[in-house]
Structure 1
Amino acid sequence: MRRPSSVEVMLLVTIGLWSLNLTVSRYILTHGFLPLAYATVRYGFAVLVFVVLTLVLERSLRIRRADLGIVAAAAAFVYLNQIGFVYALDRSSASVLGLILGATPIFAALAGLLLGTESLPSRFWAGALCSFAGVALVALGAGGALSGDLGGVLLGVLTAATWAGYSMLVTPLMRRYSATRISAVVLGAAWVPIALTGLPQLSDQDWHLGWEVWALFVFATLGPLVLTNELWFRSLDRIGPARATLAANLQPFLAAAIAVVLLSEKLDALELAGGVLIAAGILVARRRRVTAPPSE
């Protein structure tokens, strides 16, 4: 029996931690942490860890001037991603958001098309339509059930789309910088607008949340944010964003299953059917021809 490759192990660990993070973050947000306060403190903690690691290992945070535009664009995607993520979890459920994030590979391919790194045949568009139909079913189910609302679903779509765009943007940077340095610089640049947006909630936040919430907060930062950023970037460098995001097909159902078991969330038939359509659309689109990014 073939042993899994190092890239496969990195992706499996990443997907497992991301899936668990939806449940952990949902629990944190429903036990006293305000959404923007959570994003601000969590990303501030993560940036501090990345900066310290980079300075210890590389003794420099320097980015070439020619790459600052990419860094700024990637930071903007991270900012939008975090706003979408915390409010999607606040307004919807971890299981619903997990299903919606299954459409991330479709958004990654569309981002690649815009950047000129993807060639998308007709079967991709058939798969994309199937996946978007699945998202629509999830939205219909969430709108009529206790698991969420339409606004939460739309924020979930924003989360998936911005993460895909972010993954495509940072791939060229992997040729010149380490994953740790990219995370320190890009997440640091994104933290500034996150903190500015979160200032009102930071002033209103009650910090007496209990040791359980703080323990989960530390896990949600060091595991699903710090460790997975390192593993995800290394995977992108080895196999590219299109194949890496396709490997994340397991995440929607794993995240939903974890939320159902640990948070006692419920999914209705429409939401489950939507999740199946999202996965089917990815399977239809997955055989597309992928054009490698131009060498620099």
Structure 2
Amino acid sequence: MTQRLTPATAGLLVIPPLLWAGNAVTGRLVHDLISPSTLNFIRWMLAFGLLLPLAHGVLRRDSGLWPHWRRYAVLGLLGIGLYNALQYLALQTSTPINVTLVGSSMPVFMLVVGALFFGAAVTRRQLLGALLSVCGVLLVLSRGDWSQLMAFRLVPGDIFMLLATLSWAFYSWLLSRTAEPASIRTDWAAFLMAQMVFGLAWSGGFAGAEWASGRAHIEWGWPLAAALVFIAVGPAVLAYRCWGIGVGRAGPAVAGFFVNLTPLFAGVMSAAFLGETPRLFHAAAFALIVGGIIVSSRR
């Protein structure tokens, strides 16, 4: 059941978008240095190593993980194997601003997935908030020219990011359904480690397919090493921790709107590190997205 959105919960839900914006900008910065699925796999290998001292007990034979392995295999596929790989793939052909703004369709996916597959009720305010967010996303897809929507041609990066957003919506709803023993659910490191066990297998399989296809590449150096450390510590471990708590307190539908803060942070970081100055339609799209957050979360 969704609880009231308190300042503390809102603060928790702001941290992941900030770190995920940094993840998008970093992915764009290193896209010439490493292929997307390989980047995702190495990222989660490093995160696995960071969590191992805190949650190694999850790997024991008598751990509560194994009776629920199917649940964690699905969570690992959606939240670790697919979402991040698709986002890095999107950044091969699109900018962090566009990728994060397309990802702002999250509220719509959250509401639709919740209503169709999890029996969640949808309020009028949530529908209005979703509509505002959709208008913001369409403004980005049209590049500020509404006449372009008549042709409706998405670039590859847009399509990959829409698929990533759908994956994350299912992940978030499954995350809110308690099915594991308290020994894992109440320990954030153990809960994330349980997902990583299978998420690494999925991402490793995708990376292997990437190398087998001949499309993989990697150029080692300090820039890539620094990028890997950041995305392993921040967007992986810290962001997932804060997101898990925030979803548990506010519910997936309300939490989904906070993901739409990512474009604001991505725009600021892109201007600072990539020289990609946001355009007027980016600001208008963000205003619509924030309006969706405010409308949907009000009681």
Contact 2:109 2:165 in 1 (8 A): yes
For 1:270 and 1:101, how far apart are their aligned partners in 2? 16
Q: TM-score by structure 2 length?
A: 0.80
Amino acid at match of 1:225: A
Contact 1:100 1:275 in 2 (8 A): no
SS in 2 for 1:29: coil
Superposed counterparts of 1:22-61, under 5 Å: 22-30=24-32, 32-55=33-56, 61=63
More off after superposition, 133-142 vs 224-233:
133-142
For 2:117 and 2:204, how far apart are their aligned partners in 1? 30
Deviations 1:101-124 (A, max 9, x none): 233233223222234353113443
Q: Which residue of 1 aligns with 2:228?
A: 217
Deviations 1:139-191 (A, max 9, x none): 221999xxxx6221122222222222211101223773222222112232122
Contact 1:61 1:181 in 2 (8 A): no
Amino acid at match of 1:277: L
1:18 CA drift (Å): 1.8
1:12 CA drift (Å): 3.2
Segments of 5+ residues of structure 2 without an aligned counterpart are 1-5, 149-153
Q: Which residue of 2 aligns with 1:104?
A: 106
Q: Tell me the C-alpha RMSD between the 2 structures.
A: 3.1
Deviations 1:252-295 (A, max 9, x none): 2122221122211144444443333333344443447xxxxxxx
Change (3 A) 1:122 1:208: closer
Amino acid at match of 2:200: W
SS in 1 for 2:235: helix
Q: Which residue of 2 aligns with 1:231?
A: 242
Q: TM-score by structure 1 length?
A: 0.80
Q: Which residue of 2 aligns with 1:256?
A: 267
Q: Paired residues, what number?
A: 280
Deviations 1:60-119 (A, max 9, x none): 753263x43432332232222123211111111111112222332332232222343531
For 1:93 and 1:61, how far apart are their aligned partners in 2? 42
More off after superposition, 226-235 vs 127-136:
127-136
For 1:6 and 1:267, how far apart are their aligned partners in 2? 30
Change (3 A) 1:153 1:208: closer
Contact 1:167 1:241 in 2 (8 A): yes
Change (3 A) 1:141 1:61: farther
Give aligned-pair identity as a percent. 23
Segments of 5+ residues of structure 1 without an aligned counterpart are 289-296
Q: Which residue of 2 aligns with 1:156?
A: 161
More off after superposition, 68-77 vs 199-208:
199-208
Change (3 A) 1:76 1:56: closer
Q: Which residue of 2 aligns with 1:195?
A: 204
Amino acid at match of 1:36: S
Superposed counterparts of 1:1-296, under 5 Å: 6-30=8-32, 32-55=33-56, 61-63=63-65, 65=67, 67-78=68-79, 79-116=81-118, 118-141=120-143, 150-173=155-178, 176=182, 177=185, 178-202=187-211, 207-287=218-298
Change (3 A) 1:230 1:127: closer
Amino acid at match of 2:196: L
For 1:17 and 1:180, how far apart are their aligned partners in 2? 18
Contact 2:37 2:207 in 1 (8 A): yes
1:227 CA drift (Å): 1.5
1:127 CA drift (Å): 3.4
Amino acid at match of 1:49: L
Change (3 A) 1:114 1:63: farther
